Amino acid sequence: SIYEMFGNECCLSTGEVIKVIGFKINKLIASICENNEVSRFSAKVELPLNFPGLYKVVTDKTPYVSIEEITRKVSIGPTRFGHPCFYSPEDIKLANITIKHGEQITFNSVEEVNGTMAVNCGVVRNNQSHSFTLPFSQEGEFYECEDDQIYTLKEIAEWKIPKCRNRIVKLSNTLHTWDSSNPLPENFDGCLILTPVYEVQAVMKFRKDIVHILSDLDVEVKDITDCYDISSFLQPLSLEDVFERTSKEFPMAAEIMEGPSGSQKPYNLLYTGKEIIIYKKYQATRVLASEIRSDSPKRHFLIPMSYKGKFKRRPREFPTAYDLEIARSEKEQLHVVATKAFDSPHKELFSVSVGDQFLVQQCQTSEVLYEGRKKLIDVLACEQILSDTYKKVLLPMYMEGGFVEVIHDKKQYQLSEICKEFRLPFNVKVSVRDLSIEEDVLAAVPGLQFEEEITDSYLLISSASSPVESWEIPVYRLNMSVHLLSKDGQTVVPPVTKTTVEEISEEQYYMVRRYENQTLHPPPRPPKKPA
């Protein structure tokens, strides 16, 4: 028969040899969940994997009966999602360690140890990690641990739905305003039971693209793996697969089997059938920036350090005196105007009126009279600017006011200068656009906040037929498959790298911040106002 699949006609004739290279969830059937069961009043709705929102995974209460069952049903892999955690209600005695009942076991990877398949695991005790292996044959009851991370639906589909099981999720953040096309009820913030619908990914002898076959297609097949030379098929690789190759294997020539969607350059040049050279893999720094605007949604960007435009400073806003203390620097004095009045409960501390101007000095402690007793509290020493003089004043650190920065600095800065000289977050606008970019998207944005520097994984590529310029493409945000060509990447030295400012979606923004912030300690909480 001829089947129409995602716009591709695919002929599955009798005797056709198909190499199955994987299967993945194509879409999810969702039902509203009450008390871990499908609600009697819930209609089933179909959710695409790019359905907006962030979700928490509800722990599966059904145990697994062996390590082998876990490896068959749960995704364990090298990425940050592929390390599921389980616990056993009984102690597990091993040769060199005893795992206590209820102790969280992280599953890191699967490998063969002395001819026996096993899982590399770890437990953390007193902030120290202890590694050990559990053989597939290990039996017992293994329960999923609580997971406080948040995920997109696509991440849940790829990593968090065990085979032959459903998954309950709780909506954590909708991110988007509700509209009539949304299949979920308005203001819904409950739980959903997700049932996956799979698709089989396959390659065929005389096609250079990947064929997607829905798992409910009525076709009978026979397994001939053991008696067929499968090396005659193309081997599709994702960008993650390419990135996991050793550095010695680069440069490499490849042909795109499935290109990314998107009209932004260079994604519009990466179409099926195009031959490219992949020069190297590496980690690169980006500055995460967001549009400054009071209403949402804001636009978000990842700016490379090679960006050649220039920026002028824009005033920052500070909601509390504590934020002024965090923002002040030795390099220049912070000058602010109060935008909100504050009436001090202590005569020793200053009451602020709208329009008062201050030069921020330093944090110190001060004695105040509180219910007839003297008490030490943290304060911010400032100089109030009067018409012809300065007056020393103390602001309580817990003060909830509002301040706007007064900018005296008219200098134009390169991106690298800002990262070196100032603490982020930092507000700017583009004063000179980057002329090396055909359309500098940052130039049209009235104000940007540089939020933080992040490090991400990239591949450097160019067109094989006309390698006049090279591009950095993100490994984890670009959905693309290639197969390697036998010819070497002839051009060892890559051509000049074009600067690309990547605009990312709100979901991607939350993901980027989530992974960066895992390595940072949260800032100290501002001091509380005395009761």
CA distances from 256 to 70, 236, 492 (A): 34, 9, 20
Q: Is the peptide bond before 266 cis (omega within 30 degrees of 0)?
A: yes
- Give residue 412's pLDDT: 94
For all residues of the chain together, what is the average pLDDT?
84
- Give residue 521's pLDDT: 43
User: What is the rounded CA–CA span in Å between residue 507 and residue 52?
Assistant: 7
Two tokens, residue 323: 């934020």
Q: Within its chain, how far is the Cα of 145 from the centroid?
A: 22
Are 18 and 201 contacting, i.e. CB atoms less than 8 angstroms apart? Answer: no
How many CA atoms does the CB half-sphere of 321 hold within 13 Å? 30
CB 343: neighbour CB atoms within 10 A? Answer: 7
Closest CA to 203 of 247, 257, 264, 265: 257
Closest CA to 401 of 430, 459, 358: 358
Closest CA to 477 of 261, 325, 289, 271: 261
For 448, phi and psi rounded to 5 degrees? -125, 145
**Taking CA 103 as the corner, what is the angle to CA 171 and CA 170, rounded to the nearest 5 degrees?**
5
User: What is the rounded CA–CA span in Å between residue 279 and residue 277?
Assistant: 6
End-to-end CA distance of the chain: 76
pLDDT tens digit sequence for 374-415: 888 888 899 999 988 999 998 888 777 789 999 988 899 999
In sequence order, what are the residues at sequence separation of 6 or more whose Cβ sits closer than 8 angstroms to the Cβ of residue 114?
Answer: none
Strand partners, 457: 283
pLDDT tens string for the chain (531 positions)?
Answer: 556 655 555 667 888 888 888 888 888 888 888 766 666 656 788 888 888 888 899 999 999 999 999 999 998 887 778 899 999 999 999 888 899 999 999 999 888 888 889 999 999 998 888 999 999 999 999 999 999 888 888 889 888 999 888 899 988 765 555 565 677 777 677 788 998 888 888 888 767 777 888 776 778 889 998 888 877 777 888 898 899 888 888 899 999 988 887 767 777 888 888 999 999 999 999 999 999 987 767 899 999 999 999 999 999 888 888 888 888 877 788 899 999 888 887 778 888 889 999 999 888 888 877 777 888 888 889 999 998 899 999 888 877 778 999 998 889 999 999 998 888 888 999 999 998 888 889 998 989 999 999 988 999 999 988 888 899 999 988 888 898 887 655 557 888 888 889 999 887 888 787 655 444 444 445 555 555
Task: Please report the beta strands in 175-321, taking only residues with DSSP state E, as ranges in sequence order.
Answer: 191-204, 211-214, 237-238, 252-258, 275-291, 300-304, 310-313, 317-320
Two tokens, residue 281: 């893999």
For 140, phi and psi rounded to 5 degrees? 145, -170
pLDDT tens digit sequence for 149-168: 888 888 898 889 998 888 99
Prediction pTM value: 0.64
User: What is the rounded CA–CA span in Å between residue 214 and residue 201?
Assistant: 9
Domains delineated in the chain: 1-59+146-233 (no CATH), 236-314+407-530 (no CATH), 320-404 (2.30.30.40)
